[in-house]
Chains A and B, each alone.
Chain A
């Protein structure tokens, strides 16, 4: 691999620029769909780009008494960890380096932003930030567990902890989506909590804690946080598609890419519809729902897969 090809891969396709376009495209789709559901017109396609550019150009203010280095590191680190996770997730037919256990690495890298999000609440010292941070940690301990438990159904069936192994198993046994539709739905609900989307946008509930941990952030740092969240959406959805529709990767590049895009769009539609349909839950209601109903269900599901 020569240096130009390397740079092209990192910066343009399937690297930074492609991922940025994908993330902002999905964000636009989300906003447009929710607007249509609510009887509004919705933003033009370039709105997420404009928002991002505007935020990068804005003045960056922090409250007095915060540690500037620490608060600047937080969004950078979370952005970096999501980008690294995306390096290991085979988006759009990219060949990815795979090793035994890389699944755990991905899960860890995808959960780092949630932890840093909590720290952001403490670092900026606002009252709303602290409450939002507490909430995000509570949500982290319920929905991260659910997501991991639900998606590990595919690991149990394919008997491998690597991305490559999950793909191989689906080449042999067919896609996991139909036999494990239940696990897929549980993982999707875990993903909603992980991405802090409505109706589980509890840590950043606008009418309660302004913007949660991000209340005191502005300018470039806020832009990075928002971008991280959008990239997390791409990563989470792609991971779900890969784990449950893995046999797509057998097809030729073009038709596979088309089906991947269609699935991505469909799942984004589902997420948008859910967030437009329901009222925000309270944090105690969320934890009760999660630990009394969803996590036992996903455990039972996994037990069933092991016995089978």
Chain B
């Protein structure tokens, strides 16, 4: 692969004259510690990343992975420990310095300016200019060349805030790859990519490895770790547990090291007993066209899965049921009764709950306490408020009971939601569902950004809901998840239902082929 070099002939980049081959490893951390307001986020962690190696950081949320990659990217300095890059001791490290020596991070929270175009973002801080005047033509050409080479379906002249999350992710990766890189840091890069884009990314990773670029890769997905990793470092509670060779370690071993306990089965066995028709959708079309003429139903006592690529309309579909996306035509029936012009408040009254994929943006008020977040959806009930006045004792005991049932750790419901890990945030969201009588549960990407232990608890939660007779709809881009959980699986493609699979037909192969059937026929025609 040939990445276009950055155009800055007169100044020589510092510390780059050493051949990385002679001085392994590329990155060498020893005894790194970092505290945040008294809490030890990292405790004497060692890490080596070799040139041409993909090194996976593995651990639960809050294990210190993010802190570690932030340190390596220069976001903040370590409290103690040494940092060597390509054999040189690094002091007074900053993000600018990191970029200059070829360390390039791709974070989950994007570093893109929403009001600028993709191209402007790619070159942000390193614009090509002659005597202060931007050379947009040249930048545009290079941006296009890079994006074409990456094989991303991304228009460099679009504004970032007009892009979907998947496309923003692509822009972020492209940004990291512009210029000279020696160490690439990827933090759950596939979380919002489709299978095809993920494939492209993996090809790219292989090429980078062959060019002796070192990679640090954070992921919770076993399949990716299997496919990509050379070595895996397991972190737990801010401590380095062990570094293993990926080839000789098993999934069970990794998960056990990560959680400190044994987990045999990731997906629980769910006894589906399809019963009453709870959600019945006929010819639903949304105003923005993301869902087109979709008919689908979900029964009580079973999990109905919806699989599809990012942007296929599956999230929009359930958001429309909850009343967040406007519908243009079609009917929705809940428990037999027609439900016209849905709205969140009325959906809750009808017993429908929605769990958004983006828990920070749409789920939680981070500055408020767990208690207030969990009770937000029920305060309209007389049990919680009478004549507009809250019944705080009721609220406190009910929420404390629910959060105890969900095994919130630590069990303090007065902590602000912002202080919680991803898994605990999801628990607060689940807690909301337990506060009132609900019969239809819509999960949008339920396991994004949470660790294996927390995923397991979410799945167990769904199991309990279904076995108690609720109708559960799960929308997920993670195929193994929807395949394992659902009793019936719809596959969406370009806003339409491409297939409905049950029983033995419910295989990864069948889902993938229905994704691409359209493509094939289109190409033949």
B and A form one assembly: no
